[in-house]
Amino acid sequence: MTLQDGQNRKGETLAFDIREVAFQGTQRQVMTSRNSGFPVIILHELFGISASLLSFAGMIEVAGFKIYLPVLFGSTEPAKTAMDKLKRGAEFACVAHQFRILSAEESGPWADWLRHLVDWACSDSGHGRAGAIGLCLTGNFVLSMAVNAKVAAPVMGEPSLPFLNDGLHATPAEVAQVRQRLDSGLEMRAYRFETDTKCKAGRFLEFEQKLGQGFKGTTLPATEKLHSVFTEDLRDAGGQLRHDKVDEVIDFLRTRLV
Protein backbone atom coordinates (compact mmCIF):
# COMPACT_ATOMS: atom_id res chain seq x y z
CA MET A 1 0.00 0.00 0.00
CA THR A 2 1.39 3.41 -0.96
CA LEU A 3 0.33 6.42 1.08
CA GLN A 4 0.62 9.53 -1.06
CA ASP A 5 0.40 11.88 1.93
CA GLY A 6 3.42 10.46 3.71
CA GLN A 7 6.66 11.85 2.35
CA ASN A 8 10.16 12.01 3.74
CA ARG A 9 12.41 15.04 3.82
CA LYS A 10 13.49 14.37 0.22
CA GLY A 11 9.89 14.54 -0.97
CA GLU A 12 9.83 10.82 -1.71
CA THR A 13 6.52 9.04 -1.19
CA LEU A 14 6.67 6.35 1.47
CA ALA A 15 5.33 2.87 0.87
CA PHE A 16 4.02 0.73 3.70
CA ASP A 17 2.89 -2.85 3.96
CA ILE A 18 -0.11 -3.43 6.21
CA ARG A 19 0.57 -6.34 8.55
CA GLU A 20 -1.61 -7.99 11.19
CA VAL A 21 -0.12 -8.50 14.64
CA ALA A 22 -2.00 -10.52 17.26
CA PHE A 23 -1.21 -11.01 20.93
CA GLN A 24 -3.36 -12.33 23.75
CA GLY A 25 -6.48 -12.17 21.63
CA THR A 26 -5.94 -8.62 20.36
CA GLN A 27 -5.16 -8.15 16.68
CA ARG A 28 -4.19 -4.81 15.19
CA GLN A 29 -2.84 -3.52 11.90
CA VAL A 30 0.78 -2.39 11.80
CA MET A 31 2.09 -0.29 8.93
CA THR A 32 5.66 -1.33 8.14
CA SER A 33 8.07 0.42 5.80
CA ARG A 34 9.62 -1.69 3.06
CA ASN A 35 13.25 -0.87 3.73
CA SER A 36 15.67 -2.71 6.01
CA GLY A 37 17.24 -1.37 9.17
CA PHE A 38 16.92 -1.29 12.93
CA PRO A 39 13.26 -1.12 13.93
CA VAL A 40 11.68 2.08 15.22
CA ILE A 41 8.11 1.88 16.51
CA ILE A 42 6.22 5.17 16.23
CA LEU A 43 2.90 5.56 18.06
CA HIS A 44 0.29 7.89 16.61
CA GLU A 45 -1.51 10.72 18.37
CA LEU A 46 -5.12 11.41 19.32
CA PHE A 47 -6.28 11.80 15.72
CA GLY A 48 -4.63 8.60 14.55
CA ILE A 49 -2.56 8.32 11.39
CA SER A 50 -1.98 11.78 9.89
CA ALA A 51 0.02 13.28 7.03
CA SER A 52 2.33 15.05 9.49
CA LEU A 53 2.93 11.79 11.36
CA LEU A 54 3.84 10.05 8.10
CA SER A 55 6.15 12.93 7.21
CA PHE A 56 7.95 12.52 10.53
CA ALA A 57 8.12 8.76 10.00
CA GLY A 58 9.63 9.43 6.59
CA MET A 59 12.42 11.49 8.14
CA ILE A 60 13.27 8.58 10.42
CA GLU A 61 12.98 6.05 7.58
CA VAL A 62 15.27 7.93 5.20
CA ALA A 63 17.89 7.99 7.98
CA GLY A 64 18.07 4.21 7.63
CA PHE A 65 15.54 2.83 10.10
CA LYS A 66 12.65 0.45 9.46
CA ILE A 67 9.38 2.00 10.59
CA TYR A 68 6.56 0.25 12.43
CA LEU A 69 3.33 2.23 12.88
CA PRO A 70 0.70 0.35 14.88
CA VAL A 71 -2.87 1.54 14.27
CA LEU A 72 -4.33 1.69 17.78
CA PHE A 73 -7.64 3.04 16.49
CA GLY A 74 -8.98 4.53 13.28
CA SER A 75 -7.70 3.81 9.79
CA THR A 76 -4.39 3.40 8.00
CA GLU A 77 -5.45 6.28 5.74
CA PRO A 78 -4.22 9.67 6.97
CA ALA A 79 -6.75 12.25 8.11
CA LYS A 80 -6.74 15.01 5.47
CA THR A 81 -9.49 17.44 6.44
CA ALA A 82 -11.01 18.96 9.55
CA MET A 83 -13.94 16.59 9.08
CA ASP A 84 -11.54 13.64 9.00
CA LYS A 85 -10.03 14.79 12.29
CA LEU A 86 -13.49 15.21 13.78
CA LYS A 87 -14.29 11.65 12.77
CA ARG A 88 -11.03 10.39 14.28
CA GLY A 89 -11.83 12.28 17.48
CA ALA A 90 -15.19 10.51 17.62
CA GLU A 91 -13.47 7.17 17.02
CA PHE A 92 -11.13 7.88 19.91
CA ALA A 93 -14.06 8.82 22.16
CA CYS A 94 -15.44 5.33 21.57
CA VAL A 95 -12.25 3.69 22.84
CA ALA A 96 -11.01 6.34 25.28
CA HIS A 97 -11.81 4.16 28.29
CA GLN A 98 -9.30 1.62 26.99
CA PHE A 99 -6.51 4.17 27.32
CA ARG A 100 -7.30 4.99 30.97
CA ILE A 101 -6.58 8.62 30.17
CA LEU A 102 -7.13 9.81 33.73
CA SER A 103 -5.14 7.06 35.42
CA ALA A 104 -1.86 7.98 37.07
CA GLU A 105 -0.28 5.01 38.78
CA GLU A 106 -1.31 2.40 36.23
CA SER A 107 -0.58 1.77 32.57
CA GLY A 108 -3.13 1.34 29.83
CA PRO A 109 -4.25 -2.07 28.57
CA TRP A 110 -2.02 -1.59 25.53
CA ALA A 111 1.17 -2.04 27.54
CA ASP A 112 1.53 -5.81 27.12
CA TRP A 113 0.55 -5.70 23.43
CA LEU A 114 3.07 -2.94 22.70
CA ARG A 115 5.84 -4.79 24.52
CA HIS A 116 4.99 -7.81 22.36
CA LEU A 117 5.16 -5.56 19.30
CA VAL A 118 8.75 -4.72 20.24
CA ASP A 119 9.63 -8.43 20.15
CA TRP A 120 7.74 -8.87 16.87
CA ALA A 121 9.43 -5.89 15.20
CA CYS A 122 12.87 -7.08 16.29
CA SER A 123 12.18 -10.54 14.90
CA ASP A 124 10.71 -9.13 11.69
CA SER A 125 13.64 -6.76 11.07
CA GLY A 126 16.33 -9.19 12.16
CA HIS A 127 17.72 -6.91 14.85
CA GLY A 128 17.86 -7.30 18.61
CA ARG A 129 17.25 -3.67 19.60
CA ALA A 130 14.46 -1.23 18.82
CA GLY A 131 13.60 2.42 19.14
CA ALA A 132 10.19 3.52 20.43
CA ILE A 133 8.66 6.95 19.92
CA GLY A 134 5.36 7.94 21.53
CA LEU A 135 3.53 11.18 20.81
CA CYS A 136 1.01 13.12 22.88
CA LEU A 137 -1.64 10.60 23.97
CA THR A 138 0.80 7.73 23.43
CA GLY A 139 3.92 9.50 24.69
CA ASN A 140 3.73 7.86 28.10
CA PHE A 141 3.22 4.44 26.54
CA VAL A 142 6.93 4.39 25.76
CA LEU A 143 7.65 4.32 29.49
CA SER A 144 5.75 1.04 29.79
CA MET A 145 7.34 -0.30 26.60
CA ALA A 146 10.83 0.39 28.00
CA VAL A 147 10.31 -2.45 30.48
CA ASN A 148 11.19 -4.65 27.49
CA ALA A 149 14.99 -4.86 27.42
CA LYS A 150 14.98 -4.70 23.62
CA VAL A 151 13.83 -1.07 23.75
CA ALA A 152 17.22 0.65 23.53
CA ALA A 153 16.15 4.12 22.37
CA PRO A 154 12.93 5.36 24.02
CA VAL A 155 11.63 8.82 23.03
CA MET A 156 8.57 10.64 24.35
CA GLY A 157 7.09 13.57 22.46
CA GLU A 158 4.85 15.80 24.59
CA PRO A 159 3.65 12.91 26.85
CA SER A 160 0.16 14.02 27.89
CA LEU A 161 -1.27 11.28 30.09
CA PRO A 162 -2.84 11.25 32.52
CA PHE A 163 -5.16 14.04 31.43
CA LEU A 164 -6.00 16.46 34.26
CA ASN A 165 -3.86 14.66 36.84
CA ASP A 166 -0.25 14.38 37.91
CA GLY A 167 1.56 11.07 37.64
CA LEU A 168 3.38 9.00 35.05
CA HIS A 169 0.59 6.79 33.63
CA ALA A 170 2.60 3.68 34.46
CA THR A 171 2.51 1.19 37.30
CA PRO A 172 5.00 1.59 40.16
CA ALA A 173 6.52 -1.74 39.11
CA GLU A 174 7.04 -0.51 35.54
CA VAL A 175 8.58 2.73 36.77
CA ALA A 176 10.93 0.79 39.06
CA GLN A 177 12.02 -1.54 36.24
CA VAL A 178 12.65 1.33 33.85
CA ARG A 179 14.51 3.27 36.56
CA GLN A 180 16.76 0.25 37.05
CA ARG A 181 17.48 0.15 33.31
CA LEU A 182 18.18 3.89 33.27
CA ASP A 183 20.53 3.59 36.23
CA SER A 184 22.33 0.83 34.31
CA GLY A 185 22.96 2.95 31.22
CA LEU A 186 19.72 3.28 29.26
CA GLU A 187 18.79 6.82 28.19
CA MET A 188 15.28 8.16 27.64
CA ARG A 189 14.62 11.38 25.73
CA ALA A 190 11.53 13.56 26.00
CA TYR A 191 10.47 16.81 24.34
CA ARG A 192 7.82 19.47 24.91
CA PHE A 193 7.11 23.05 23.92
CA GLU A 194 7.38 25.69 26.64
CA THR A 195 3.80 26.86 25.98
CA ASP A 196 2.24 23.38 25.98
CA THR A 197 -0.77 23.23 28.30
CA LYS A 198 -1.26 19.47 27.91
CA CYS A 199 2.31 18.45 28.77
CA LYS A 200 3.38 20.95 31.40
CA ALA A 201 6.78 21.55 32.96
CA GLY A 202 5.70 19.77 36.13
CA ARG A 203 5.37 16.50 34.25
CA PHE A 204 9.00 16.62 33.15
CA LEU A 205 10.03 17.47 36.70
CA GLU A 206 8.20 14.36 37.93
CA PHE A 207 9.92 12.26 35.28
CA GLU A 208 13.28 13.59 36.46
CA GLN A 209 12.48 12.84 40.09
CA LYS A 210 11.25 9.29 39.51
CA LEU A 211 13.48 8.20 36.63
CA GLY A 212 16.77 9.83 37.60
CA GLN A 213 19.61 11.11 35.45
CA GLY A 214 18.90 8.69 32.61
CA PHE A 215 15.87 10.78 31.71
CA LYS A 216 16.77 13.72 29.47
CA GLY A 217 13.90 16.15 29.04
CA THR A 218 14.09 19.07 26.62
CA THR A 219 11.73 22.05 26.71
CA LEU A 220 11.66 24.01 23.46
CA PRO A 221 11.13 27.79 23.60
CA ALA A 222 7.89 29.06 22.10
CA THR A 223 5.83 32.25 22.19
CA GLU A 224 2.64 30.88 20.62
CA LYS A 225 0.64 27.95 21.94
CA LEU A 226 2.20 24.79 20.50
CA HIS A 227 1.91 21.11 21.36
CA SER A 228 3.02 18.56 18.75
CA VAL A 229 6.82 18.70 18.66
CA PHE A 230 7.35 16.30 15.76
CA THR A 231 4.10 16.46 13.77
CA GLU A 232 1.50 19.23 13.45
CA ASP A 233 3.65 21.94 15.04
CA LEU A 234 7.00 20.84 13.64
CA ARG A 235 6.76 23.48 10.90
CA ASP A 236 5.61 27.08 11.00
CA ALA A 237 2.99 28.63 8.72
CA GLY A 238 5.64 29.11 6.06
CA GLY A 239 6.63 25.45 6.09
CA GLN A 240 9.95 26.01 7.86
CA LEU A 241 11.12 23.71 10.64
CA ARG A 242 10.70 25.28 14.06
CA HIS A 243 13.61 23.33 15.56
CA ASP A 244 16.31 20.74 14.86
CA LYS A 245 15.15 18.06 17.28
CA VAL A 246 14.27 15.56 14.56
CA ASP A 247 17.96 15.39 13.72
CA GLU A 248 18.72 15.06 17.43
CA VAL A 249 16.34 12.11 17.71
CA ILE A 250 17.91 10.49 14.64
CA ASP A 251 21.37 10.89 16.19
CA PHE A 252 20.03 9.36 19.41
CA LEU A 253 18.60 6.38 17.52
CA ARG A 254 21.88 5.85 15.69
CA THR A 255 23.90 6.04 18.89
CA ARG A 256 21.68 3.65 20.81
CA LEU A 257 20.77 1.18 18.05
CA VAL A 258 23.41 1.14 15.35
What's the pLDDT at 106? 66
What's the pLDDT score for residue 142?
A: 96
What's the pLDDT at 83? 77
- pLDDT at position 8, please? 55
What is the DSSP pairing of strand 13-23 with strand 2-7?
antiparallel
Cα 131 to Cα 101: distance, rounded to the nearest angstrom? 24
Q: Give the pLDDT of residue 42.
A: 99
- The pTM assigned to this predicted structure is 0.91
- Annotate the chain with three-state secondary structure: CEEEEEECCCCCEEEEEEEEEEECCEEEEEEEECCCCCEEEECCECCECEHHHHHHHHHHHHCCCEEEEECCCCCCCCECCHHHHHHHHHHHHHHHHHHCCCCCCCCCCCHHHHHHHHHHHHHHHCCCCEEEEEEHHHCCHHHHHCCCCCEEEEEEECCCCCCCCCCCCCCHHHHHHHHHHHHCCCCEEEEEECCCCCCCHHHHHHHHHHHHHHEEEEEECCCCCCCCCCCCCCECCCCCECCCHHHHHHHHHHHHHC
pLDDT at site 1:
36
Per-residue pLDDT, 2: 36
- Angle between helix axes 201-211 and 172-183 (nearest 10 degrees) is 70
| pLDDT for 95 | 59
pLDDT at 102: 46
Summarised one tens digit per residue, pLDDT across range 42-100 is 999 987 898 999 999 999 999 999 999 999 887 888 877 777 777 766 666 555 555 55
Q: Which residues of the chain have pLDDT under 50?
A: 1-5, 102
Tell me what pLDDT residue 107 has.
75
**In angstroms, what CA-CA distances link 155 with 19, 34, 80, 92, 228?**
24, 23, 26, 23, 14
The whole-number pLDDT of residue 177 equals 98
* Residue 57: predicted pLDDT: 97
Fold classification of 2-257 (topology level): Rossmann fold (3.40.50)
